[in-house]
Amino acid sequence: MTLAAASHGFLSPTGVEIAFLLVGLVTFGAAVLTVTTRQLVHAALWLVVALGGLAVEYLLLTAEFIAWVQVLIYVGAVVVLLLFGLMLTRAPVGRSPDADSGNRWAALTVAAASAAALVWVVVDAFRATWIDLDGPAAGSTAVTGASLFQNWVLPFEALSVLLLAALVGAIVLSRRAKAERTAGPPAAGPPAAHGADKGGVR
């Protein structure tokens, strides 16, 4: 156990730990509202709050590089891409009854099981690990950048290709819808001449 763990425990939290808990509660509430609201635009906006709360959590853990990546990529790119997708597909702005598939209990069961598995994995992996917030920053820009571009460069580039493919797909869908609107319904041919020679020649 390190000196940071011996100096204080759970019964004497510091100001950073209290702020971390409060921001975590706000982030959790925003995440719940993201998946429970029936308004798609509101869901995207609550997702912004949840992802922004995660960025604040990273800042409190002295991982400023990951925090700014969270803001620039997820809040500034992914959420904007979702909003553009909602606008291009003409999604309803108000309440959408179609957003509820009726499998709410099954989805809740899967979400609870996934959350329990993730919590168990994280707690088991970091059971005796303490972050010394007063020591050297382990998540600084230099340390994280070196690890990212040396060990995780392939997933990083794969994510870039995925975002590019999503953007190209949105452009293709929007141009196809525009072409269908400008084409309009097929033009009807000239009316058939009924009884053209009915009168005959006088």
Report whether 174 contacts 88 (CB < 8 A): yes
Q: How much of the chain, in percent, has pLDDT values that exceed 70?
A: 69
Confidence band for 63, pLDDT divided at 50, 70 and 90: confident
Sign of CA dihedral 160, 163, 169, 172: negative
Which domains, from first to last, does the chain contain? 14-95+137-181 (1.20.120.1200)
Could you identify the residue written with the tokens 């922004």? Answer: 52
Q: State the number of CA atoms in the 13 A half-sphere of 12 facing the CB.
A: 6
Confidence band for 202, pLDDT divided at 50, 70 and 90: very low
- Residue 141: its pLDDT value, please? 75
What is the rounded CA–CA span in Å between residue 185 and residue 31? 44
- Residue 139: its pLDDT value, please? 64
Report whether 34 contacts 47 (CB < 8 A): yes
- Residue 49: its pLDDT value, please? 92
